[in-house]
Homo-oligomer: A and B are copies of this chain.
């Protein structure tokens, strides 16, 4: 974990409402494992003070890139950043995704910025399996070509049918699941909470492994404030686990979902 004043190298529209922000951050870039994130202090956030976490889309010795969508105060005040401006970031943070199990068929399931969060994992995995990407429209499904180039069998679904199957990720995933050697499946999931829950439920019901990257509001990002906790099963009940430090990636069976 390092803190670095990163220089903006690139910042422009990526696809639809999503923007890409590339940062020069050598000390952080070189440490990144797939599924980790950075905690970014947003200049121009005015009287709002907290950092915002962003999954690392790409990383190398030079720095890191993130994909984000302006949805609220923080992300909207990021849009004026121009090449040359400095942003203070902390990272890499979180546990990231584990190594794939021996002889497993890796499956990616993602929505929104989840695609970005899974890109490094998709690259790292030796076996390239199937990638189920869901979104409202074609615009919301990021990096399809990149995943294909890596050798993944990409199966998009969109609510409006503008790309791939019309419907939710599960509408593509469930029928596909029937024809699989289920115990051999290993899912890597990152997306909105309903998608995470849906995949977690299936993992438990059908008995396969699913690594879920949880999205919780964060304050410190380093495990100190106990803001980002979720309930994790223990032998004799449950304990709080911090998404920023013990996560954000948990196996479906560890998680106790809140109603």
Contacts and interface: CB of A to CB of B under 8 A. Distances in A.
A124 interface: no
A8 to B, nearest CB: 16
Majority-rule SS of A interface residues: loop
A44 B44 CA distance: 7
A237 interface: no
Nearest to A47: B47
Interface residues of A, number: 4
A47 B44 CA distance: 10
A175 interface: no
A194 interface: no
Contacts of A47: 46-47
Interface string A31-55: 0000000000000111100000000
Nearest to A44: B44
A112 to B, nearest CB: 30
A45 B44 CA distance: 9
Nearest to A45: B46
A46 B44 CA distance: 7
A46 B47 CA distance: 5
Contacts of A44: 44, 46
The 6 closest A-B pairs by CB, nearest first: A47-B47, A46-B46, A46-B47, A44-B44, A44-B46, A45-B46
6 contacts: A44-B44, A44-B46, A45-B46, A46-B46, A46-B47, A47-B47
